[in-house]
Amino acid sequence: MLNVEVLTLFPELVEQVVRHGIPRKAVECGALALRTRNFRDYGAAGDRRVDDRTYGGGPGMVLDAESLARTVAAAKAALGPAAKVIALSPQGARLDQHWVRRLATETALVLVCGRYEGWDERAAGLFDAEVSLGDFVLSGGELAAMAMVDALARLLPGAVGDQASVEYDSFSAGLLDHPHYTRPEVWRGAAVPEVLLSGDHARIARWRLKQALGVTWLKRPDLLADLELSDEQRRLLREYIAETGMDQPGAAAPAKD
């Protein structure tokens, strides 16, 4: 059971994440509980104002440290001292599947969503970690927290009907997922690879592994560089490269400007 509290100025936005799909199922089956807490209910100024101007001048407002500290304290009081406090920040460690897997084993998480220019730097000591969704700037931490809750929910037991589907996902084994097909067998002249209709499970497993290695080589060669491939995996990748006639990894990566 994972208890998550999201600290935010926009609780009604965050709550949407458990209204649909797998996160909703995770809540319904008791694997996940999501609560929100509004900084404004803990405003240090005695009103609902929790932001102030930035010292040194310049544009933008900052969440004040005391309101944030009080909100974090309330969340920890509700969840227990073991709760890990994670702040969403573009300056944090990039969220990846390793992080998600590690966090999914926790029992309680407090996710702190900044707004405006972020929070008073002196509040940063309240966080066990800072996590970023990527190298771009959102206007608030809510979408990042929602993305985290979604990624966590699908790893919790009971949330996804067939856990095998999660194990084969992109990144689970350090590789991207193999391609998937569904009916019809021929769509606008393009046929489903014959092996997938063969019923030969060993051949299908070999094909899928080869494709996973191949698409990772094509689209994310940086991921492959981090892996120690077995002899069999190396052989499969060589086959893939020979079959597709490509000799340059990263050929399918999106062009950077």
Give the catalytic positions in this structure: 90, 117, 154, 169
Q: Which of 100, 103, 144, 156 binds ligand SAH (CB under 6 A)?
A: 144
Closer to ligand SAH at the Cβ: 18 or 142? 142
Any idea what DSSP says for residue 119?
B
Asked if residue 249 binds ligand SAH (CB under 6 A), the reply is no
Nearest 10 degrees: Cα torsion 137, 139, 142, 143: -50
Q: Which of 11, 140, 214, 249 binds ligand SAH (CB under 6 A)?
A: 140
Asked if residue 11 binds ligand SAH (CB under 6 A), the reply is no
Closer to ligand SAH at the Cβ: 62 or 175? 62
Q: How far apart are CA 87 and CA 127, in angstroms?
A: 6
Asked if residue 111 binds ligand SAH (CB under 6 A), the reply is no
Closer to ligand SAH at the Cβ: 21 or 134? 134
Asked if residue 239 binds ligand SAH (CB under 6 A), the reply is no
Burial code of 173-197, b = ≥16 C-beta within 10 A, e = fewer? ebbbbbeeeeeeeeeeeeeeeeebe
Which of 191, 182, 234 is CA-nearest to residue 210?
A: 234
Asked if residue 118 binds ligand SAH (CB under 6 A), the reply is yes
- DSSP H or E segment with residue 17: none
Asked if residue 146 binds ligand SAH (CB under 6 A), the reply is no
Asked if residue 68 binds ligand SAH (CB under 6 A), the reply is no
Asked if residue 91 binds ligand SAH (CB under 6 A), the reply is yes
Q: How far apart are CA 130 and CA 83, in angstroms?
A: 15
Asked if residue 114 binds ligand SAH (CB under 6 A), the reply is yes
Q: What are residue 111's phi and psi, to 5 degrees?
A: -105, 125
Q: What are residue 88's phi and psi, to 5 degrees?
A: -90, 125
Q: Where are the alpha helices (DSSP H) in 80-112?
A: 97-103
Q: How far is C-alpha 90 from the chain's CA centre?
A: 14
Q: Which of 115, 154, 210, 220 binds ligand SAH (CB under 6 A)?
A: 115
Asked if residue 55 binds ligand SAH (CB under 6 A), the reply is no
Burial code of 27-49, b = ≥16 C-beta within 10 A, e = fewer? beeebbebbbbbbbebbbeeeee
Residue 68 has a CB neighbour count (10 Å cut-off) of: 25
Residue 190 C-beta: closest distance to ligand SAH, Å: 37
Asked if residue 89 binds ligand SAH (CB under 6 A), the reply is yes
Residue 59 C-beta: closest distance to ligand SAH, Å: 11
Asked if residue 124 binds ligand SAH (CB under 6 A), the reply is no
Residue 52 C-beta: closest distance to ligand SAH, Å: 15
Q: Which residues bind to ligand SAH, rule: CB under 6 A?
A: 88-91, 113-115, 117-118, 132-134, 136-138, 140-141, 144
